[in-house]
Amino acid sequence: MTGVLALERVTRDFGDRRALDEVSFEVRPGRTTGFVGANGAGKTTAMRIVMGVLAATAGEVTLGGRPLTREVRRTFGYMPEERGLYPRMRVLDQLVYLGRVYGLSASQARAHSEEMLERLGLSERGHDLLQTLSLGNQQRVQVAAALMHDPVLLVLDEPFSGLDPLAIDAMGEQLRERAASGVPVLFSSHQLELVEQLCDDVVIIDDGRVVAAGSADELRARRGGRRYRVEVDVPPGTDLATLVDAVPGARLVSVDGATVLVELDDSADDQVLLAAAQRLGTLRELARVRPTLAEIFREVVR
Amino acid sequence: MSAPTTKPTAEPTAEPVRSQAGAWRSIGVVAGREIAVKLRDKAFIGSTVFMLLLVTAATLIPILLQQQTPSVRVAVQGAGAAEVVDAAAVLGRDAQESGTALPPALAVFGVGGLPAADITSVEVEPGGDVERLVLDGDVDAAVVGDDIAQLTVLGAEGVPDELDVLLRAASSQLQVQRAADEAGLTAEQMASLTSPVMPEIELLAASPTGVVPPELLVLVFAFLFYLSVLTFGMSIAQSVVEEKQSRVIELLVAALPVRWLLAGKVLGNTLMALGQIVVILGAGLLGATAAGQGELVSQVLAASGWFIVFFLLGFVMLACLWAVAGSLASRIEDLQATTVVMQVLVIVPFFAALFAMDPGPLQRLLSYVPFTAPLLMPARVVLGNAAPWEPPLSALLVLATGVLFVIIGARLYEGSLMHTSARSSVKQAWRGTR
């Protein structure tokens, strides 16, 4: 059982540019954590620091409360953003080699590699050079390289990019399976719908700072504020937008035909909104709206 | 009775030992890949086989040529001709049996002994068309005449060199003999006339002699070193940049300290380079042994000890810098630019060493300069002008430079390895932290 992976006030400078500014978040065992942010926000830098590929200028990364050592990192599964395997090496040979680099014995490495290829349906391609495989299959070999040594933690940088929809499903399944077995899984992605679907936890990073982190549900509840969609059939001549005038602390977000989106602040009473809507016309619907991750993202990253 | 368990106290002390073993194991794994890749590399196998063939051919062909006794068919017409050709055949056979025959090339100039040859005479009746026989190629040459002092040698485009020399010798011997007989000289007087005693030559500052001139041996060694450092150095640089360009480096660096990676690469390629040299030298020596050239074998073996020591030190000294040259590039196309300094560092010493082949202060100086020492110090040993304490001292200098380069190289390698976007400068690499 792996402990919690924690980044504590991790800072990284590249020359004068500060890529990460006191970044702190946790990746908990048994959960998948989605790492989202705009291009250049610092996702890859943070993941490289976790893997020890880059050093932090300040701050610390710990696993189960202990600082990470190379020996511990060797037990991590890593998929770098820019995929990396030897193009002119046979598929099986390079998995065995990487397995041995991760510290497996020669026989273990061979057994695990063969098993991984079998599971990915690439058994008969084991003796081909990597560069002769299709891009999709190369990606699968990359997955095999990240998973072959039964890692205690997964760090995957954009694992879904370049995959077809079926492969995305398979990859998602893999991640959930690994998380369910107690492995903390951290992955980054630009596909917010996918993150929303897959993730238990979300970390949003913007310009080197963590702007939101926590369980996805909590985040939606907290970040969404109190937003309501109200559908009212109003008599001709009545402006639906006047609804908010009758409710103290309400703000109009948008109007679309017979539907308005209203946001209430902490002082506002949703029952007042209900009464006001009924007064205005025939109330068809009044519902609390939970924002999607994409909406939260757009809101916090501006 | 249960013995007190020592396990808990033993565990903490076992920790550093394990990580040490991990280092060697990991370096071994990296070196193993370098070797496996090389062994599968068709270009490497091809060049090794080619060099093997070249060396085998180079040792075997001259020996075969040298041992082949030329056989010559000579048409003979007339009593005098028969007498001279018979005498020439005896001389040729004697030279062959005594084994003192000179290589044909030297025999032509009439230096010392006589060439070995297998002369067959074909008798032609008086009036027979000797010229036709020669022109048709039935015989290599013809000797015509009744008086030994008035013979004509007929050849088509030329007369074989061996035959020419042997016929002259035989004819002059017979004529001297005839003159001596007519003058009524004793057998001893005649012997001193026909085979005078040559002065004995004594060298006061003899250099070691061998079957092969030592200069040639040095040249072969120098060339092997030069070729090996250049090809394997380039292959180290390529292997480094391949990992950078394909981004495998990120996976490797996450699991291994960069120094281990560097050490593994240098180790693997050094082993392969050394293996290739040993195989090539071995093939040459085997070929020479098979051809019965024991003297050549012992000469080369005696010289190759220091050569291999200096080869190893010189190779490792430069290998780390080759890895740095590779790490400064970000793609294969940049290699030409980043390795140019290295190529100069190999080529200039090679030519400097060639120019300093003659013993003198320059050679002495260069045999201590770390870049030229691997070429010149073994050369001085082979040429026999190095004091016994000189090679170890020079080797130490190369070793010290090697250690320095390894330290500098490891830092530059570490500093530039993760800069995958563009070519790095040495300055950036030196300052660069991961």
Q: B290 CB contacts (<8 Å, ≥6 apart)?
A: B60
Interface of B with A (CB under 8 A): 19, 22, 26, 29-30, 33, 36-37, 242-243, 246-257, 418, 420, 433-434
Q: Phi and psi at residue B305, in whole multiples of 5°?
A: -55, -60
- pTM exceeds 0.80 for this model: no
On the question of pLDDT at B136 being above 90, the answer is no
B87-96, B206-215, B287-296, B334-343: lowest mean pLDDT where? B206-215
Per-chain mean pLDDT for chain B: 79
- Over residues B369-393, the mean pLDDT reads 86
Q: Which of A54, A86, A87 sits opposite B434 (nearest CB)?
A: A54
> In this predicted structure, what is the pLDDT of residue B217?
75
> In this predicted structure, what is the pLDDT of residue A112?
93
Q: B270 CB contacts (<8 Å, ≥6 apart)?
A: B232, B312, B315, B316, B319
> In this predicted structure, what is the pLDDT of residue B64?
66
On the question of pLDDT at A59 being above 80, the answer is yes
> In this predicted structure, what is the pLDDT of residue B335?
86
> In this predicted structure, what is the pLDDT of residue A109?
92
On the question of pLDDT at B393 being above 90, the answer is yes
Q: B365 CB contacts (<8 Å, ≥6 apart)?
A: none
> In this predicted structure, what is the pLDDT of residue B219?
81
Show residues of chain A in contact with B422, CB under 8 Å.
none
Q: Phi and psi at residue B378, in whole multiples of 5°?
A: -60, -30
> In this predicted structure, what is the pLDDT of residue B106?
41
Task: Return the percentage of chain B with pLDDT > 90, whole number.
Answer: 6
pLDDT in tens, A140-175: 899 899 999 889 999 999 988 878 888 888 888 888
Closest to B273 measured CA to CA, from B318, B306, B337: B318
Show residues of chain A in contact with B250, CB under 8 Å.
48, 51, 53, 78, 80, 82, 84
pLDDT in tens, A221-251: 776 678 888 999 888 888 888 888 888 888 8
> In this predicted structure, what is the pLDDT of residue B350?
86
Decide if B240 contacts B405 (C-beta within 8 A).
Answer: no
DSSP A160: T
pLDDT in tens, B235-269: 899 888 888 888 888 888 888 888 888 889 989 99
Strand pairing class (A201-206; A32-37) = parallel
Most confident of A128-137, B103-112, B144-153, B200-209: A128-137
Give the Å distances, CA to CA, from B52 to B125, B215, B219, B298, B311: 54, 21, 17, 20, 19
Decide if B265 contacts B236 (C-beta within 8 A).
Answer: yes
Q: Which one of B33, B37, B424, B434 makes the best mutation probe of the A interface by having the most chain A beta carbons within 10 Å?
A: B33
C-alpha A45/C-alpha B250 separation (Å) is 12
Strand pairing class (A17-27; A5-14) = antiparallel
On the question of pLDDT at B65 being above 80, the answer is no
> In this predicted structure, what is the pLDDT of residue B418?
67
Show residues of chain A in contact with B36, CB under 8 Å.
93
Chain position carrying tokens 């996976």: B251
- Residue B277: band (very low, low, confident or very high) from pLDDT cuts 50, 70, 90: confident
Closest to B264 measured CA to CA, from A101, A102, A225: A101
C-alpha A149/C-alpha A144 separation (Å) is 9
CA distance B53 to chain A (A): 28
Comparing B433 with B179, the larger pLDDT belongs to B179
What is the SS3 assignment for A231?
strand
- Over residues A133-137, the mean pLDDT reads 87
- Over residues B262-280, the mean pLDDT reads 89
Residue of A nearest to B240 (CA): A86
On the question of pLDDT at B125 being above 60, the answer is yes
> In this predicted structure, what is the pLDDT of residue B62?
65
Angle B297-B300-B302 from CA coordinates, rounded to 5° = 105
> In this predicted structure, what is the pLDDT of residue B97?
66
Q: Domains of chain B (ranges plus CATH)?
A: 71-191 (3.40.190), 211-431 (no CATH)
Q: Which of B248, B253, B255 sits opposite A85 (nearest CB)?
A: B248
Show residues of chain A in contact with B242, CB under 8 Å.
86-88
C-alpha B382/C-alpha B47 separation (Å) is 27
User: What is the full DSSP assignment across B391-408?
Assistant: HHHHHHHHHHHHHHHHHH
pLDDT in tens, B138-150: 888 888 888 888 8
Q: Is there a contact between B246 and A85 if contact means CB atoms under 8 Å apart?
A: yes
Q: Which of A89, A93, A98 sits opposite B251 (nearest CB)?
A: A98
C-alpha B170/C-alpha B322 separation (Å) is 65
On the question of pLDDT at B305 being above 60, the answer is yes
On the question of pLDDT at B189 being above 70, the answer is yes
Q: Is the C-alpha dihedral spanning A269, A270, A273, A278 positive or negative?
A: negative
